[in-house]
Amino acid sequence: MLSIKDLKAGVEESQILKGINLEVKPGEVHAIMGPNGSGKSTLSSVIAGREDYEVKGGSISFEGDDILELDPEERAHKGIFLSFQYPIEIPGVSVSNFIKTSLNESRKAQGLEPMPAGDLLKMMREKMELFEIKKGYLSRSLNQGFSGGEKKRNEIFQMAMLEPKLAILDETDSGLDIDALRIVANGVNKLRSDDNATIVITHYQRLLDYIIPDFVHVLYDGRIVKSGTKELAHELEEKGYDWIIKEADQC
């Protein structure tokens, strides 16, 4: 589904990603862990197509198509979703209006008619239940005055509405208390299927107790220095990153 080969990217002179290789197949959950500044958020931004980052080498293909030349919205239309680490506020735009616009723009790109309002509302209600979201939430201004937890929950709610093929959750656990974390994780698990894939970016192993990954990768200094299964995450939790960093630096 997603195939990243020797990806190099950075901002102006500085190189942040120094040759990333990653294969994600439908149905899989990959976790990407690593210390601060290792390039985790850069990787998610580059996949989503943020223009601040310049790709200096390598390739990213999604379902067989090279996506590096595509605009961020075109990538979104293909089914790539990024849950932001710091969701953005848009004053005066209600959650429901934003989701409606988002959903219908994607449908338009696929040659579909806008979703009838009744269907849309019904779908929103179902998904709201999934994430235990309160009434009145839909008419609030997008992310404005939201608590950290509400913002993250809102990201996952949008993901549920857009039903992406590939979801990248960038530090979705940060700012969530334990109850909210469970609700979000349960929601993500319910959305899992054999056709879609998830990349979970996180500092902590905690989230991975709820969203069980098939693979865990450690990102350090712009490279994936170690890959393994969920046991690797436990090991990291116990021993920290230092031993991997030492291993990597020796290479």
Task: Please pick, from the candidates 23, 37, 56, 109, the single residue that binds another protein as defined by CB under 8 A.
Answer: 109
Subset of residues 204 to 233 that bind another protein, contact rule: CB under 8 A: none
The reply on whether position 148 binds another protein by CB under 8 A is no
Q: Is 34 in the site for another protein (CB under 8 A)?
A: no
Among 141, 174, 186, 227, binds another protein (CB under 8 A): 141
Residue of 6, 65, 66, 105 that binds another protein (CB under 8 A): 105
Interacting residue with another protein among 41, 42, 154, 158 (CB under 8 A): 158
Q: Using CA atoms in the order 193, 205, 231, 165, what is the torsion angle rounded to 10 degrees?
A: 20
Task: Report how far residue 137's alpha carbon sits from residue 189's, in angstroms, rounded to the nearest whole number.
Answer: 23
Q: Which stretch binds another protein (CB under 8 A): 10-18, 53-61, 86-94, 240-248?
A: 86-94
Scanning 6-14, 48-56, 60-68, 197-205 for contacts with another protein by CB under 8 A, the matching segment is: 48-56
Does residue number 71 form part of the binding site for another protein (CB under 8 A)?
Answer: yes
Min. distance of Cβ 65 from another protein in angstroms? 17
- Nearest approach, Cβ of 114 to another protein (angstroms)? 13
